[in-house]
Amino acid sequence: MSKFTITIEFPGVDPYKTAKALILTDVLRAVLDELDRAEQLWQKWPADPIHQAAIVAEEAGELVQAALQFEYDYEKGTLDEIRKEATQTAAMAIRLLKNINQPTISHEIK
């Protein structure tokens, strides 16, 4: 059996940009799915930016831990764990950005 490749070209469409857009779409879908999951599990979100940022930092710390384990502890660290923690960090950063303009008692918008 012979193998062959079919290439379809669309005028004006950059295949590199198309592939990049597909990857980005998958990444953003995963982040937004994680955001939905987190908002359902933890419906309460701090009103002040210090505690919001602390949640993002906590997730970022878990991402760093996963990366360290991948680099130095081959039995525990995996790329899947890094992806999971990066997705959670991005989701919490988006949650902070969604809520950052909400006024609080100590920081009323005037």
Nearest Cα neighbor of 63 from 85, 37, 81, 43 is 85
Question: Mean pLDDT across the stretch 7-22?
Answer: 74
Residue 9: pLDDT band by 50, 70, 90 thresholds?
A: low
Which percentage of the chain shows pLDDT scores above 70? 83
pLDDT of 92 strictly over 90: yes
What are 92's two structure tokens? 């919490």
pTM for this model (two decimals): 0.78
| pLDDT value of residue 109 | 45
Map out the domains of the chain as residue ranges: 46-98
> What pLDDT does 110 receive?
39
Amino acid at 101: N
Query: Among residues 25, 89, 19, 83, which one has the least CA distance to residue 53?
Result: 89
Summarize the confidence of residues 38-64 as an average pLDDT.
96
pLDDT for position 5: 62
Tokens in use for 105?
């008692």
Each residue's pLDDT tens digit, 69-88: 999 987 889 999 999 999 99
Got the DSSP string for 23-47?
Answer: HHHHHHHHHHHHHHHHHHH-----S
